[in-house]
Amino acid sequence: MSGEASKGLARFDQELAEAAMKGQWEFDRLLEGLVGGPRPAGVPHLWRWKDVNAKLLEACDVLPESFTARRNLAFMNPGLDRGTSHTMVMGMQMLKPGEIAWSHRHTMAAIRFVVDGSPDLVTVVDGERLPMEDNDLVLTPRWTWHDHHNGTDGNVTWLDALDIGLVLALNGGFYETLGERRQPEHERSGSTLANRSGDVRPTWERRKELHVPHRYPWRDVEPILLGMAAEDGSPFDGIVLEYVNPITGGHTMPTISCWIQMLRPGERTRPHRQTSSGMYHVVRGAGTTTVDGVDLEWTDRDCFVIPNWAEHSFVNRSTTEEAILFSVHDIPTLEALGLYYETPEPSLGVAPWPAVPADVTRPR
Ligand code: GTQ
Ligand code: FE2
């Protein structure tokens, strides 16, 4: 071989880089790191209500007007640059008496789960007035106008969750303000959904499920959950129900699945892992969620995150009271792309995860 031909790989790699190219061999390490599945993105983490509430109350002083910014404290995963999980963010928001969080819209889809609510706390979504009583769930689908109104004489608090990591990864973010504090409300409350969930629907709307403001009142959900206490449930999650999209009967929203879960007194679930990530809020009760060997000990109103592909199991530490958890998952996105798997066995009626020969499974 001539001297010019054997310039060496390192030199060649550098020349490729200068020509805006990279040899596939440079990705070998990345691929080898995926044997046995992905490393969980971020770490398991718990945010205690005691600490979150104290910071929210402080924020009420530091940010006296709610419209200067949403008075929301987002939960930052200590193992990530942004977000609660790599695809989503969860946080708590507080409004003082009489405040309005001004109307805006964005292509991030959002949900609200009410912590301290009232019939006089309202989110208006694309003209629909959605009251927010304790433990209600309210949907703000992507690109719907929304403003929040505290018509009570006390502070109110709710949980926000958005698919922000996903939308930013796809570089699909749009945002605008209305320019008014509040949007006009429909005269006939509930007409958006009523006109789209019956026998006839508008032909000019192509993806109706994206745009349905909806409220799931706790007074309807709780009796169904408690009424299933004697059922088998899932060996991995106990009694767990999905909030379904009222138009499609499918996932809550195209990118977000919301669950309400009951662990019966003393219940211990089997460990499993999913390619999805989950963010949890304790409605009531006391228990432990063990995530890749880390014990997250939770009680009323605490929040925690289970990163994707992290093994997790639940224990209700009380032998007399049920524990109830609300949670938000990125399952619909992974499912739509054929990337949703669970192990040791599928519990959501989906295809099994790709088998990995035992001898190449990375030790964890
Ligand atoms: O209340 O509209 O936590 O737009 C993040 C972005 C809440 C909201 C968040 C938002 C909102
Ligand atoms: Fe918003």
Task: Please give the pLDDT value at position 361.
Answer: 47
146 CA distance to ligand 2 centroid (A)? Answer: 6
Q: Ligand 1 pocket: which of 124, 130, 160, 163 to mutate (most atoms <8 Å of CB)?
A: 160
Task: Please give the pLDDT value at position 350.
Answer: 53
What are the chain's domains?
45-350 (2.60.120.10)
Task: Please give the pLDDT value at position 349.
Answer: 58
67 CA distance to ligand 2 centroid (A)? Answer: 12
pLDDT digits (tens, 9 = 90+) for 123-175: 999 999 999 999 999 999 999 999 999 999 999 999 999 999 999 999 999 99
What is the chain's mean pLDDT, rounded? 91
From the alpha carbon of 89, which atom of ligand 1 is closest?
3
Residue 81's Cα: distance from chain center in Å? 17
Q: Which residues contact 76 (CB under 8 A, 6 or more apart)?
A: 82, 83, 84
310 CA distance to ligand 2 centroid (A)? Answer: 30
pLDDT grade for 215, boundaries at 50, 70 and 90: very high
Bridge partners of residue 137, in order along the sequence: 113, 216
pLDDT digits (tens, 9 = 90+) for 310-355: 999 999 999 999 999 999 999 999 999 989 988 887 666 555 555 5
Q: Ligand 1 pocket: which of 68, 93, 256 to mutate (most atoms <8 Å of CB)?
A: 93
Task: Give how far Cα 248 sits from Cα of 106, 126, 211, 221, 347, Å.
Answer: 22, 19, 12, 19, 21
Task: Please give the pLDDT value at position 69.
Answer: 78
Looking at the chain, the whole-number percentage of residues with pLDDT higher than 90 is: 75
Identify the residue whose C-alpha is closest to ligand 1 atom 7.
160
Cα separation, 224 vs 284, whole angstroms:
16
Task: Give how far Cα 314 sits from Cα of 152, 157, 199, 229, Å.
Answer: 37, 26, 42, 16
72 CA distance to ligand 1 centroid (A)? Answer: 7
pLDDT at 77 exceeding the cut of 60:
yes
147 CA distance to ligand 1 centroid (A)? Answer: 10
Q: Which helix (H) or strand (E) holds 150?
A: strand 146-150
What would the two tokens of residue 192 be? 């958006």
Q: How many other CB atoms sit within 10 Å of the CB of residue 287?
A: 20
Looking at the chain, the whole-number percentage of residues with pLDDT higher than 70 is: 92
Q: Which helix (H) or strand (E) holds 56?
A: helix 49-62
Find the residues whose C-beta lies inside 6 A of ligand 1.
70, 72, 91, 93, 101, 106, 146, 160, 162
Identify the residue whose C-alpha is closest to ligand 1 atom 10.
70
